[in-house]
Homo-oligomer: A and B are copies of this chain.
Amino acid sequence: MCVMSLFPVAQAYHGSPDGTKRDVASPGANHSYSIIVNTTLRAAVIGYGRFGRFWAEWIAGEFTVQVASRRTLAGLPAGIRQVTLEEAATADLVFLTVPISAVRDTLQRLAPYLGPRTTVVDTCSVKVYPVTEMERILPADAGIIACHPMFGPDSALTRTDLLPVIIWPVRDRHQRYHGLREVFGRLRMRIVEMTPEEHDREAAFTQGITHLIGRLLAEMELQPSEIATLGYRRLLQVMEQTCNDPVQLFQDLQRYNGHTREMRRQFAQALERTARLLSDETLD
């Protein structure tokens, strides 16, 4: 786990509790120098479902990664170790990769054990709800960063461009925000800074509608076809990719984002207008 990290000193880098050793190679200003760390920051990933597993491996080159799960995990990748929730709670960065609907309970279990220099970073597909809960439940000295990687196990492999990630420094007590942005930059991500409220509005009308359409097509049980048009093949891809994610993600996206109700209202209205294009015919 010896990797090169780029954390600007100006961001008051504190080192990690496990004794990170650093050499400042060149003390210039404006991110123009690098710091060699023998041991990287410790990052704990809480929840080891489909996304958690992907995320733990995705960031493994940049942090010493630990994972916490209620289940006993077998066959973890080399260098990734399972720890208790108590131990995970003292990491430099605690990434929450539990389902949105499990965030509150997880925070309540995590809060009593949280290290004094720990920053909690959620990765939920909605932002206002988990941010509100983190601010309410976590101790005052906990750092809080909101984060939503707009990609997952499927699209990370398929996309060839930079992968968008939304990030917002809710309460950057331990100055991890800028370092995290740099790490993400190295991990093929394109940083988009957006408030939780802005995120939820935009995500409802992008990711939210996509999952709605994907589930709808799956319910229709669409099949591959020898005569598939290009457009139909794209719909099948949307269906397959969406339904690789657990149905709980779909449900949570629709329930915990205050804007998806409006998205679904507009969807229903658009359906009516579309039906009207067929004049005397209706869609049911």
Contact = CB atoms under 8 A, between A and B. Distances in A.
**A contacts with B: majority SS:** helix
A203 to B, nearest CB: 7
A151 to B, nearest CB: 7
A227 B194 contact: yes
Contact of A230 (B155, B203, B232, B279): B155
Contacts of A261: 281
Interface string A144-164: 000000110011001100001
Interface string A265-284: 11111110110011101011
A216 interface: yes
A220 B209 contact: yes
Counting contact residues on chain A (CB < 8 A from B), the size range is 35 or more
A226 interface: yes
A228 interface: yes
Interface string A9-47: 000000000000000000000000000000000000000
Given A213-B235, A231-B242, A234-B237, A283 B268 contact: yes
Contact of A228 (B194, B206, B226, B231): B206
A197 to B, nearest CB: 14
Nearest to A224: B206
B254 A278 contact: yes
Interface in A205-225: 205-207, 209-217, 219-220, 222-223, 225
A202 to B, nearest CB: 6
Contacts of A219: 269-271, 273-274
Contact of A166 (B159, B194, B227, B242): B227
Contacts of A220: 205, 209, 266-267, 270
B247 A238 contact: no
B251 A225 contact: no
Interface of A: 150-151, 154-155, 158-159, 164, 166, 192, 194, 199, 202-203, 205-207, 209-217, 219-220, 222-223, 225-232, 234-235, 237-238, 241-242, 247, 250-251, 254-255, 261, 264-271, 273-274, 277-279, 281, 283-284
Given A215-B277, A254-B278, 20 more contacts: A150-B229, A151-B229, A158-B230, A164-B227, A164-B229, A202-B225, A203-B227, A210-B235, A213-B217, A213-B235, A219-B269, A219-B271, A220-B267, A220-B270, A231-B238, A231-B241, A231-B242, A234-B234, A234-B235, A267-B283
